[in-house]
Amino acid sequence: MYAIVEIAGRQTKVESGKFIYANKLSGNEGDAVEFANVLLTDDNGTVTLGAPFVSGVKVTGKILTPMVKGDKVIVFKKKRRKGYKKKNGHRQQFTKVLIESIG
């Protein structure tokens, strides 16, 4: 069984027993989180599509690590023949969440 859930404005496919990296969520390690914005569920071929959300279905999980940094993204700007160069880096912060149940 899997579900498509909206977490912090992004749609994510989740399965019970697996973990995901979501945009940084508030909470500490071991805290329970609940996602109510379920867009689609699939239970062994039976697909339920919400309009916009599936009613009565929630996804619960547990925060494993409150902050994980993603890969570094380098932003480099240059204008030729003008002597203008600018280099900037960014690392996105994520939360590692273990999905416990869908239903």
14: CB partners within 8 A, 6+ apart:
2, 3, 4, 5, 20, 35, 59, 61, 99, 102
pLDDT in the model for residue 103: 86
CA distance 71 to 92: 7
Q: List, for residues 49-67, the tens digit of each pLDDT value.
A: 989 999 999 999 999 999 9
What's the chain's average pLDDT? 95
Residue 26 pLDDT grade (very low, low, confident, very high; cuts 50, 70, 90): very high
